[in-house]
């Protein structure tokens, strides 16, 4: 592994990180012992960054048990913010919840600190200074080594950095975002903003959440079986792009999985790509392509299929700004619109 520096933290991380969602027994591998073997295989191969979250079922417990005796060589990352139950205060980025959530995560992970603590998604109900204030306290208390953001638009990255400087708070050091052959929208603003701010970037979904494995094809049995679970697996635009990428990978002499991961790591703004194997075979395939480098001819062909800065459809799990989901947030009240209308000629 040729390790990379995570933003300005000085922490060295592997270019491929191990995502732990598939180690949750309720959604991924039902055998925690098998998951532990996968984790140990990844560590033995040189992967040193493991990313989980409090909202990933029992993933933190599975990871914690697997890391007994090996914790000191692991850059351990987890996240907070997504709902973990029906309590409206057991989510978000308030001081009240973050303090409680971190203690819960540390207990489940069996450690006294995490190396990277990330806000799972923006919280429009909490002032960013409030969030940065509690994260700063946790860093100074030694329970968190560095703080980061996830799924944050470019303006949110800039706002967080500006607020930290204005208040003398600990800055965020990372951004975790979706990025793949099919999801290149981050090239327009989020990746440049992260680069300008000196953030390390962890990209999730480099395999298009299954579409870029080569196992999901138009009309194939896998697509039919999983389409009810994930809408993006039946998105005709995404399926069309995959059918064009498959022969390109074949011409390059690569499995589509290797092409996909190598593409994300080619961008100079990307620090590490998070892969989420469910089985040992999945991990071994990804490890075999860890050192693949793509030439300009292949990258030019990719640009023809999915233009830079563009997204092919959307991921089911991608964060969407509230104003894009709720019409009331982008429309004036009716009375205000009527008053404005009377002034028009």
Residues taking part in catalysis: 56
Neighbours of 25 (CB within 10 A): 15
End-to-end CA, the chain: 66
The helix or strand, by DSSP H or E, that contains position 100, with its residue range, turns out to be: helix 95-109
Strands (E), 205-309: 272-275
Instruction: Check the CA dihedral 152-79-43-256 and report its sign.
Output: negative
Q: Where are the beta strands (DSSP E) in the chain?
A: 4-5, 12-13, 16-19, 49-51, 75-80, 116-119, 147-150, 174-178, 200-204, 272-275
Which one-letter DSSP state was computed for residue 92? S
* Helix/strand/coil for 311: strand
3-state SS, residue 86: coil
């Amino acid at each position: 592994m040729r390790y990379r520096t995570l933003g300005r933290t000085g922490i060295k991380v592997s270019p491929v990180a191990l995502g732990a969602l598939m180690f949750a027994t309720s959604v991924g591998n039902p055998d925690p012992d098998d998951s532990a073997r996968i984790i140990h295989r990844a560590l033995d191969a040189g992967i040193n960054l493991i990313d989980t979250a409090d909202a990933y079922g029992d993933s933190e417990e599975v990871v914690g048990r697997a890391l007994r005796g090996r914790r000191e060589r692991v850059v351990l990352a987890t996240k907070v913010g997504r709902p973990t139950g029906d309590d409206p205060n057991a989510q978000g980025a308030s001081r009240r919840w973050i303090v409680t959530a971190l203690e819960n995560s540390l207990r489940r992970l069996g450690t006294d600190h995490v190396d990277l603590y990330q806000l799972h998604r923006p919280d429009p109900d909490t002032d960013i200074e409030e969030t940065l204030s509690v994260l700063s306290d946790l860093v100074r208390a030694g329970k968190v080594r560095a703080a980061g953001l996830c799924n944050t638009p470019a303006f949110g990255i800039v706002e967080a950095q500006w607020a930290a400087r204005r208040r003398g708070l600990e800055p965020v050091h990372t951004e975790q975002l979706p990025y793949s052959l099919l999801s290149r929208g981050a090239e327009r603003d989020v990746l440049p903003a992260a680069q300008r701010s000196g953030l390390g970037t962890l990209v999730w979904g480099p395999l298009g959440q299954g579409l870029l494995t080569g196992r999901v094809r138009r009309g194939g049995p896998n697509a039919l079986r999983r389409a009810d679970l994930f809408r993006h697996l039946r998105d005709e635009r995404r399926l069309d792009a995959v059918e064009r990428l498959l022969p390109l990978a074949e011409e390059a002499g690569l499995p589509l999985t290797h092409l996909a991961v190598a593409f994300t790591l080619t961008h100079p703004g990307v620090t590490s790509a998070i892969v989420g194997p469910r089985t040992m075979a999945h991990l071994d395939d990804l490890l075999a392509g860890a050192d693949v480098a793509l030439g300009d001819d292949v990258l030019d062909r990719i640009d023809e299929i999915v233009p830079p800065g563009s997204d092919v459809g959307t991921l089911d799990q991608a964060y969407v700004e509230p104003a894009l989901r709720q019409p009331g947030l982008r429309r004036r009240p009716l009375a205000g619109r009527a008053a404005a209308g009377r002034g028009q000629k």
